[in-house]
Amino acid sequence: MSDIIDRYKSGERDFTQENLFRENLAGVVLTGSVLVEANCCEANLEGADLSYCDLRRVNFHKANLRGANLTGSDLLQANLCEADTTDAVFDNANLHQANLYLTKGREQAEQAGNLSEAWAPPKAVELQRIAAKLQELQVTAVAANIQAVAAAEIAKVAPVKEVSDGDINSR
């Protein structure tokens, strides 16, 4: 099992290119994380909280996203081919150029998500992107401050809910 839950709990938010192939992460809370180009192919993310995440070019092929919260997330060019998004929440999410071919629950995603180029990321997502770039450039002190501001922005719109490892593993 991936250590992403422990890393998130310790304050890490940048999981760029993380390999979560076939991981069971049902109910996981990763609010405000950066998962650009992550491999979530066939992952179980049922009921996961992926709100205000940077999910650009993530591979969700055949992933279970039933009931997942993707509010305010950027799914630009994400691959949701054959994924199950039944009852997932896509309010103010960016789905521009996302692959929704054979996606279960596609109609709901298309209605709630934004499919145009005009989408602008919520302030929290933009701050997370900046923090991830600073981490990449090893400007860690500034990145930590920006991540704290992003977390505060997210808390304003999406109160944090605690999920124990037992809750996640029992699904």
CA distance 168 to 34: 20
Domain of 24 in residue numbering reads as 1-120
Q: Report the number of distinct structural domains present in the chain.
A: 2
On whether both 116 and 64 belong to a single domain, the answer is yes
CA distance 58 to 48: 15
Residue at 165 is within a domain: no
Residues 6+ away with beta carbon under 8 Å from 162: 29
On whether both 107 and 149 belong to a single domain, the answer is no
CA distance 58 to 140: 25
On whether both 93 and 132 belong to a single domain, the answer is no
Residue at 169 is within a domain: no
* CATH code for the domain in which residue 3 is found: 2.160.20.80
On whether both 65 and 131 belong to a single domain, the answer is no
pLDDT at 121 over 80: no
- pLDDT value of position 171: 45
Quote the pTM value. Answer: 0.78
Residue at 132 is within a domain: yes
Model confidence pLDDT, tens digit, residues 18-28: 999 999 999 99
CA distance 39 to 20: 6
On whether both 105 and 135 belong to a single domain, the answer is no
Report, as an integer, the average pLDDT of 21-45.
Answer: 97
